[in-house]
Amino acid sequence: MKKERIVLFDGECNFCDKSVQFIIKRDPVGYFKYASLQSDVGRELMQKYKIPDDVDSMVLIEGDRAYTKSTAALHIAKKLDGLWHLLFLFIVTPKAIRDRAYDYVAANRFKWFGKKQVDACMLPPPDIRKRFLA
């Protein structure tokens, strides 16, 4: 049975949007599906997996587990084409250290990359669009 992998992301964040585009480009097999944290699906999944409301960046749901922060990013990298999977080696770094770096970027993402304009959404081709959950 294929393990479902869902990436939840902040739909208002330019950096998060670019991160999703980055993942899609390096995931030609389509391992991942996507939903914004602000969507009905995103909110339902956050409740189902008991993800705290203060988590406002990337989350990976993989099978029956939910990963947040640096752990989510590393598990995503593990499935990407190219040498990106080697980043998973950082999983041996203590989570507190990894998450401190992750939190720094997350806390500054709007300042550095801005917020998405509501009328500036990308319309992906149908083969990519089907990876997005409503």
Relative to beta strand 65-68, strand 32-36 is: unpaired
pTM for this model (two decimals):
0.85
Q: 122, 14 in Cβ contact below 8 A?
A: no
Q: Where are the domains of the chain?
A: 5-129
The pLDDT assigned to 81 comes to 94
Helix (H) or strand (E) segment spanning residue 116: none
By three-state DSSP, how is residue 45 classified?
helix
Name residue 9's beta-bridge partners: 36
Helix spans in the chain (H)? 14-25, 40-48, 69-78, 95-113, 126-129
Identify whether the C-beta of residue 34 lies closer than 8 Å to the C-beta of residue 6.
yes
One digit per residue, the tens of pLDDT, for the chain of length 134 reads: 467 899 999 888 788 888 999 999 999 999 999 999 989 999 999 999 999 888 878 899 999 999 999 999 999 999 999 999 999 999 999 999 999 998 888 888 878 877 766 555 556 667 787 888 86
pLDDT at 20: 92
Contact assessment for residue 67 and residue 89, using Cβ atoms and an 8 Å cutoff:
no
